[in-house]
Structure 1
Amino acid sequence: MKLFLLLGSISGFLSVALGAFGAHALKEKLDEYSLGIFHTGVTYQTTHALALVLVALLLKWYPDSSGLVWAGWCFAAGTLIFSGSLYTLAMTGIKVLGAITPIGGVLFLAGWALLAIHAWKVVS
């Protein structure tokens, strides 16, 4: 699906830009703990940008796979919620945002599980 390739590409681009922003512009503004939180958001965003690209490529071969489509949406929403909440937490210090982060983590897990189920069906 072209949409997942686009989302993955944009997310990958933003993860590199945000990683550079965190390493250079935020280095003097945030403490080490907050920088670590920000870096965790970047790492997970980068990983799941690649997962979105993978889903897009797999959908070329398996265009009727609803499991792949759901995996893609889980990766996209998980990135927004997980990484987005960590970026906001790191930059604002609003601790309640830490309660939202696990929702994104569960979406990541669901995406990977759906990808595994798809692989199991294809290989079987």
Structure 2
Amino acid sequence: MKRNLIITALLGCVTIVLGAFGAHALKDILSLSELKSFETGVRYQMYHVIVLLFVNTYSGFSIKSKNIISYLLFLGILFFSGSIYAISFGVSAKNIWFVTPLGGLLFILGWLKIVKSFYKKE
């Protein structure tokens, strides 16, 4: 669990850095559409960092549930937000078109695991 919280805190820090980078350094480089996509990646990353903080400090979930949820959301951030960042920096969407929806699916699975954990009180 401590490892999950460390990774979560680092992801939170990276989110702030990327948000500031997008707001200042990228506004003159990216088109408005590209900048909005980048901001979507940052926003979804921060939403899930906040959820990860909750999950990993909530005493009602087992360590196993916390780890499963954390890994699903960590990978969701990597694939969903990471692919949006990559596309914003010039990687062809045609080359990684499947990565963003895969990240979205991992987010959904993480949320469903949260539902299951609340339901079962694991």
The aligned counterpart of 2:118 is: 119
- SS of 1:28's equivalent in the other structure is coil
Distance, in Å, in 2 between the alignment partners of 1:76 and 1:31 is 28
Using the size of structure 2 for normalisation, the TM-score is 0.91
- Indicate the RMSD between aligned Cα atoms, in angstroms: 1.6
Asked if the contact 1:78/1:103 (under 8 Å) is kept, the reply is: yes
User: Which residue type is aligned with residue 108 of structure 2?
Assistant: L
Q: What do the CA deviations read for 1:27-84 (whole angstroms, capped 9, x no partner)?
A: 00000111011001000110111121112102xx257442332111000011011100
- SS of 1:8's equivalent in the other structure is helix
User: Which residue type is aligned with residue 6 of structure 1?
Assistant: I
My pick for the range that moved more, 108-117 or 46-55, is: 46-55
User: Which residue type is aligned with residue 37 of structure 2?
Assistant: I
The aligned counterpart of 1:26 is: 26
1:104 correspondence with 2:99: no
Distance, in Å, in 2 between the alignment partners of 1:52 and 1:30 is 30
Give unpaired runs (5+ residues) of structure 2: none
Asked if the contact 2:61/2:121 (under 8 Å) is kept, the reply is: no
Identity over aligned pairs, percent: 34
Distance, in Å, in 2 between the alignment partners of 1:112 and 1:63 is 13
Distance, in Å, in 2 between the alignment partners of 1:113 and 1:105 is 12
Which structure shows the bigger proportion of residues in helix conformation? 1
User: Which residue type is aligned with residue 81 of structure 1?
Assistant: F
The aligned counterpart of 1:39 is: 39
User: Which residue type is aligned with residue 43 of structure 2?
Assistant: T
Asked if the contact 1:7/1:49 (under 8 Å) is kept, the reply is: no
The aligned counterpart of 1:2 is: 2
Using the size of structure 1 for normalisation, the TM-score is 0.90
Asked if the contact 2:8/2:49 (under 8 Å) is kept, the reply is: yes
Instruction: State the number of aligned residues.
Output: 121
The aligned counterpart of 2:57 is: 57
The aligned counterpart of 2:87 is: 89
Distance, in Å, in 2 between the alignment partners of 1:50 and 1:31 is 29
